[in-house]
Structure 1
Amino acid sequence: MIRRFGQPPKRGQKYKLRAGAYALLPYRGDLLVTHQAHPWPEYQLPGGGIDAGESPTSALHREVIEETGWTISRPRRVGAFRRFTFMPEYEIWAEKLCTIYIAHPVRQIADPTEPGHTAVWMPLEQAVDVLGNSGDRHFAQMLQGGWV
C-alpha cells in the first residue's frame, strides 16, 4: 500500500491517475527545489508527470531540466506517495502517484524552461519547512534524518 498525504479523496469526485517522478537533489547541506509561481506560489521538489511511453527516470531527467535547468546523475528510487488534488493548470482532479528519487545535481545547463518556475538552492532544514505539500516535506525530512 502506498501512503497518502494531504486531503482524502472527495466523495463522488472522479480522479484521473497521474503518475509522476520527483527528485531530492541535495548538495553540501542544501537542496535544489523549484519555485512555481502559478497557479499559486509554492516551493516543490522538481519533477512532474510521466508522459505516455516514457520511463519514470527519463521523465525525471526531463522534468528536472525543465523546472531547474540542471542535469542530474545516478537517480535512485527512495519511495512513493499519493495525493488527491485539483490541478488547475490541466483542469482535472488527479490522484497523483508521486515516485521520489534521490539524485546528484551535476550542472546547470540552462535557465528553467517551464513557465513560472525558478531554481532555488536552500538549506535542507528550510526546505523541510517550506515545501508546498506534505509528501515532499516527508521525503525531505527522511533525507534530513539520514534515512534516504
Structure 2
Amino acid sequence: MRVRTSLLSQEFCSDEAGFAPTLPTGYTWARRGTRAVVFQEGTSGRRVNALGALRTGSQPGLVFRTTTDKVTSDLLLDFIYTQVAGLTGVLGTAAIAPGLPRHRPCTIVLDNASTHVSRRIKDARPLLEGLGITLFYLPPYSPPN
C-alpha cells in the first residue's frame, strides 16, 4: 500500500521493539555426581525498548530512541514530535500552537498497536495535523503483497 502525499512531504514508517539481554534459563547441565547450579540474574531494569522511524523516499534515514521505560502514548507522542518531525518545545503547550506548521509536511505510518491507537493519541491528532504531521494507520491485516 502506498500513501499518497505531496512530493514535498516526508514519509516515515514507525514501530517499536523491546530487547531483554537476560534470557530465561530452561535447562542446564553438570558433571555426574555434582549439583547443577543456575545463577538467577535479575531482569529489573535490563529491558531496553527502542522506538524507530524509517524515512522513505529520496533521502532515506533512520530516527530512533532507546529507553528502559515502558513505551507509552506520551513517550510515542514526544518521539514523533521532537525526533521524527524535528519540532521543539512541548506538544500541547501554549508555546506551540496550531497554525505553526513544519516547513515540510510529515506523514507517519503506524500499525494498530495499543499505544498507537490510544485515547491520548486520538486526542493529539488534530494538534499534530495543525502542525503538518499526519498519522496514517495500516489496516488491521496487511498482507505482504
Task: Give the alignment's TM-score, normalised by structure 2.
Answer: 0.25
Structure with the greater alpha carbon radius of gyration: 2
Q: When you count helix as a share of all residues, which structure comes out higher?
A: 1
Q: When you count strand as a share of all residues, which structure comes out higher?
A: 1
- Between the two structures, name the one with larger relative contact order (CA 8 Å, sep ≥ 6): 1
